[in-house]
Amino acid sequence: MPAKKPKPPAETYPLKLTEKQRESLIHATRQKRGIKDRLEHVAAGSQAVPFTKRELEQACDDVYKSLPLAPNPHKQRLNAVLDKIEELLDALEEQPVQEKRQAAGKSGVIYQFKVTLKGSNPTIWRRFQVPDGTLGQLHEVLQVVMGWQDSHMHQFIVRGEYYGPRPPDDLDMDMETETEDEEDILISQVAEMGRKVRFTYEYDFGDGWQHEVALEKTLEPEPKVKYPKCVEGARACPPEDCGGIWGYADFLEAIADPKHENHREMKEWVGGKFDPEKFSVEVVNKGLRQSF
């Protein structure tokens, strides 16, 4: 049997980064050892670091995940790195992604999002379509689409920046991070921030329900269709105040086992019955029609 031919090395592309940007990429993200070596050993007088297309996409994901926790000035540098990575990835696409970004920023388009409850297994998710509006309005849509009761605080984390409701003038909020007013930024502005737009929506800081919200595409509005609109989804929203994703797992274990020590208590607390697989697009859209 003839020996297999070795795969040719993947083509690489030069990503120009300053020394400080390379430092932030190393220390504020989880880059693989080989990439770290390349970032640390750049030829004198050069800023170019070779990356394969797949490595660029992975680095893009790593930066997105690291931004919410990155302190300044790392956050500013990582945003600059993210812009450079996305510009390079855009240049490698047959059809420039910049055109898609411009389309996403047009008034009158419909934005299709997929929201996923982080840590849920099996996954709890929804796909929905919404016209342009503020992040505050998007919060209201997410509450109905997911099935929450809007009885706790919330915030959005977009490229490391925090957005939430403006606190009352007489309420002194002692927040660890500076939060911008969610009514001052539009969905269309967020949609123009990158080639693969995704951000975090956190609800109930005690239970810590975190959702990944990903922009899938933009659409022209259909005649006689009322927006916002839920397209599809899977599984029930967890009960409020059940203790976050880990408490929800304990809750499901208790109600599924009649012999569990907390079975009766949890059944009474939830109102007699709870089906974690239950989801209805019709019910969600009815709630949207009543709310908007």
Backbone angles phi, psi at 238, to 5 degrees: -60, 155
Regions of the chain where pLDDT drops below 50: 170
| Cα dihedral 35, 14, 196, 67 sign | positive
Q: What is the pLDDT of residues 248-259, one digit of tens each?
A: 999 999 999 999
**DSSP code of 28?**
S
HSE (side-chain half, CA atoms, 13 Å) at 220: 2
Residue 199 has phi, psi (to 5 degrees) of -155, 175
Q: What angle do CA 98, 100, 102 make, to 5 degrees?
A: 70
pLDDT at residue 196, as a whole number: 86
Q: For residue 147, which phi and psi values (nearest 5 degrees)?
A: 110, 15
| Closest alpha carbon to 128 in 198, 215, 247, 193 | 215
Euclidean distance between CA atoms 219 and 104, whole angstroms: 9
- Which residue shows structure tokens 């945003």? 79
pLDDT recorded at residue 170 = 47
Element (H, E) at 60: helix 53-66
Predicted local confidence at residue 33, as pLDDT: 82
- Give pLDDT, residue 139: 98
The confidence score (pLDDT) of residue 31 equals 77
Domains and CATH numbers, the chain: 12-92 (no CATH), 103-168+175-234+281-292 (3.10.290.30), 237-276 (no CATH)
pLDDT for 151: 96
pTM for this structure? 0.85
